[in-house]
Amino acid sequence: MSTIVEIKDLVKYYQAGESIVKAVDHTSLQIERGKFTAIVGRSGSGKSTLLHLMGGLDRPDSGKVLIEDNDIYAWKGDRLAAFRRKKIGFIFQDFNLIPSLNVWENVVLPLGLDGRKVKEAEVMDILERIGLADKKNAMPNTLSGGQKQRTAIARALAAAPAIILADEPTGNLDSRTELEVMSLLKNCVKEFGQTLVMITHDETIAQMADVVIVIEDGKVVSQS
Amino acid sequence: MHCKRERTEIYMDRKSGKRIVWCAALWFACAVLVTIGEALLVKSEVHNREQQLEEIIIIHPELEQEMVQNFKYYQQQMLEEFFTLWILLLVLLGVVVLAFYFAGQWQQRKEEKRILDDVDVICTQLEQFRRGNFEVASYFSVGDGKKQEKRQERAGTTRNSLPAKIRNPFGSKLSAKIRNPFESKLSAKSRNKSESRLSAKIRNKSESRLLVRIRNKSDSDFRENEHWVRVRELLRELAYYFSDIKERLVEEENSTKALITDISHQLKTPLASLRMSHELTEAENLTESERREFAEKETQEIEKLEMLLEELVNLSRLENHMIQIKPEPLGIKQTITEAVNQIFMKAHVKNIEIQVKLENDVMIRHDRKWTVEALANVLDNAVKYSEPQTCIGIRVSPLPSNLLIEIEDEGIGISEEDLHRIFKRFYRGKLASGYAREGAGVGLYLARSILEQQGGSIIAKRKMERGTIFKITLPLA
């Protein structure tokens, strides 16, 4: 399989009081196209920072992030944002839905921001697959945690990005719902030929991944 | 490629021909206008002079002869001058129209060259694909290639990024007027009403026309750029697709080789054990009871070997896509019953109780034969790694889109570091290898493959105390 994301000697340090936190410490890794990669690590191991750097949400102190051979940090704000909108989809632990928009509007929002045409049949197909077709007019405050996360997944899928970066997507869900959400996410990503990178502290959820990368103190300690 | 070039040339020739006709028509129209204008001027001049002549003759009738001759002479001179001017104007018009034509031709050549360059780049990439090199040429990499940069600079990726001159060619004053035509009308009112209104009207009209033209131009540039971006994206996707297919073929070949090596390795141990038992049975100094005991062991080894072979055959078939899993809406109750039946005797011998909690039958999309195989593998695992006098529980509960099947045992459990490896082919956990000799690390791998091919999933969760819970999901019908 070809590499879709390549991280080369990435460094990101934070100043916490008088000490320096090495969130990402000279890390290099490769993410294979079309696979589900889980990045596992304890809280504070630097996995979230790594994911944010991978998605162009933060800037590294040094090192490179190559997505489809493009050095994303060689670009300036607007271009990086345009590339991110087109190539990367995000799923967050807190769902990040817009409370004043209904499910459908939340799902098509990234398309509108990117100036793309909304293909209703395609979006409807995603909602059906994700089991939200009957909730498309519902407001976020009427949805359960699982339904909110499924909406967030549908929103990430609707923009048809090449890569989906998920930050603890089941962190706020109970164990029964987390399995269903993960199952849906994995199947959809597989069906649409996308690459899924997920960070989690839960080794159980990581079992569903094709590749598991273990990270400790900002460094990759194992990859299997 | 040549064909494309020829087509482009034909298209360009047609375009050029049209331009010639258009230029000739323009010249002709201008010439007609100049001619009419001059004719009117001449007519008016002649009329004035004739009137002057008549007036002079009335005042000085004695000079009539002389005056008429003079008049004819000067009229002839005037006509010659006007004729020369007419010829000069026609030539000048011709020169302007020709200049216009050649400027158009130059622009067209430039455009033609750019299109041919683009076609060349696409052809080079396709040629590279044909030769089996599926790498994306640097030209198609987003952000790479000076040409691309230039193109984006020229056309702009968005309307907002159009160069300032194109966006606002008239300066801020004018654009303000265009933005707010009422404002300009109001200021015009305060000056000379009729005059300024007319001039403002004309100005606004011409300005907005110009603006529309420029907008159209930038729109066409934008569209052209958008098309090029689309071609570039498609070619890049195609390159990745081909590249993936190529790599997948290599991966499958390697995987088949690894599978053969793994299978032969897995078969070696039980075969060696069987050979040893067989050799012992053939020894001459054995008593009848010893011989019977070794024969029994031999039978056990053969049974184990048969089971292992069956697992390996299933595995290799599944890996090589020889098995077609066809999910259909069926009740889960019978599937679970069949799976439990498969391991019931094994559990009974070990004195392990199996409890099934399933209140109502639930319809799910699954292939019964292979789902039974997957569930039986998980149950077999639970029986294999559990102590006698323990219990295995099966619980079924529907989720919004899936059915959750939980298989809970009181066995040896799985260490944390083994947790994400237990579903890998031929992987046996540290605790498992120490506990039971039988097993090749195929069962859970096979179960996961079967379930995932039906849109399901499986995970193992460590229990707080002893044991493991396997959670399986399958999509509801």
Please state which of the ranges B253-262, B286-295, B424-433 shows the lowest mean pLDDT: B424-433
Whole-complex ipTM = 0.81
Identify all chain A residues contacting B399, using CB atoms and an 8 Å cutoff. Answer: 176-177, 179-180
In the sheet that B402-408 helps form, which strands lie side by side, from edge to edge?
A: B353-357, B391-398, B402-408, B468-475, B457-462
Q: Which residues lie closer than 8 Å to B417 by C-beta, 6 or more apart?
A: none
pLDDT band for position B221 (cuts 50, 70, 90): low
**Interaxial angle between packed helices A103-113 and A120-129, expressed in degrees from 0 to 180 and rounded to the nearest 10:** 130
Please report the pLDDT score of residue B207 as a whole number: 47
- Residue B176 in this model has a pLDDT that exceeds 70: no
pLDDT in tens, B285-301: 778 888 888 888 888 77
User: ∠ at Cα A166 (A164, A171), nearest 5°?
Assistant: 160
- Residue B54 in this model has a pLDDT that exceeds 70: yes
Distance (Å) from the alpha carbon of B411 to chain A's nearest alpha carbon: 18
Amino acid at position B245, single letter: I
Interface of B with A in 451-470 (CB under 8 A): 455-457, 459-462
Identify all chain B residues contacting A82, using CB atoms and an 8 Å cutoff. Answer: 157
HSE-CB of A220 using CA atoms within 13 angstroms: 19
Of A34, A69, A182, nearest to B457 by CB-CB distance is A182
Of A74, A130, A204, nearest to B419 by CB-CB distance is A204
- Residue A10 in this model has a pLDDT that exceeds 90: yes
Positive or negative CA dihedral for B21, B22, B23, B25? positive
Of B144, B240, B462, nearest to A2 by CB-CB distance is B240
Q: Which residues pair with A219 in a beta bridge?
A: A216
Q: CB distance B471–A131 less than 8 Å?
A: no
Please report the pLDDT score of residue B156 as a whole number: 38
Please report the pLDDT score of residue B470 as a whole number: 93
Which 3 state secondary structure label does DSSP give B72? helix
Interface contact B135, partner A, CB < 8 A: no
Q: Which residues lie closer than 8 Å to A63 by C-beta, 6 or more apart?
A: A7, A8, A9, A10, A11, A26, A27
- Residue ranges and CATH numbers for the domains of chain A are 3-223 (3.40.50.300)
Distance (Å) from the alpha carbon of A110 to chain B's nearest alpha carbon: 17
- To the nearest whole number, what is the mean pLDDT of chain A? 88
- Residue A6 in this model has a pLDDT that exceeds 90: yes
> Of B167 and B6, which is predicted with more confidence?
B6
Of A2, A182, A206, nearest to B247 by CB-CB distance is A2
Identify all chain A residues contacting B455, using CB atoms and an 8 Å cutoff. Answer: 183, 187
- Residue A20 in this model has a pLDDT that exceeds 60: yes
Identify all chain B residues contacting A182, using CB atoms and an 8 Å cutoff. Answer: 457
pLDDT band for position B251 (cuts 50, 70, 90): confident
* Report for A35-39, A156-160, B2-6: range of highest mean pLDDT: A35-39
Mean of pLDDT values over A185-211: 88
Please report the pLDDT score of residue A9 as a whole number: 92
Q: Can you give the pTM of this predicted structure?
A: 0.62
Contact criterion met (CB below 8 Å) for A215 and A50: yes
- Residue B136 in this model has a pLDDT that exceeds 90: no
- Residue A207 in this model has a pLDDT that exceeds 50: yes
Mean of pLDDT values over B244-269: 77
Mean of pLDDT values over B300-307: 80
Q: Which residue of B has its CA nearest to A144?
A: B400
Spatial distance between the Cα atoms of A42 and A20, rounded to a whole number of angstroms? 19
Mean of pLDDT values over B101-124: 84
pLDDT band for position B9 (cuts 50, 70, 90): low
pLDDT in tens, A51-102: 999 999 889 999 999 998 889 999 887 888 888 888 899 998 888 899 999 9
Mean of pLDDT values over B226-240: 76
Please report the pLDDT score of residue A38 as a whole number: 93
Of B40, B23, B32, the closest CA to residue B82 belongs to: B40
Please report the pLDDT score of residue B306 as a whole number: 84
Distance (Å) from the alpha carbon of B244 to chain A's nearest alpha carbon: 6
Spatial distance between the Cα atoms of B75 and B59, rounded to a whole number of angstroms? 21
Distance (Å) from the alpha carbon of B174 to chain A's nearest alpha carbon: 29
Please report the pLDDT score of residue B109 as a whole number: 86
pLDDT band for position B215 (cuts 50, 70, 90): very low
- Phi, psi (degrees; rounded to nearest 5) at B365: -85, 110
- Residue B143 in this model has a pLDDT that exceeds 60: no
pLDDT in tens, B362-415: 999 999 999 998 999 999 989 988 888 899 999 999 888 889 999 999 988 888
Mean of pLDDT values over A182-197: 87
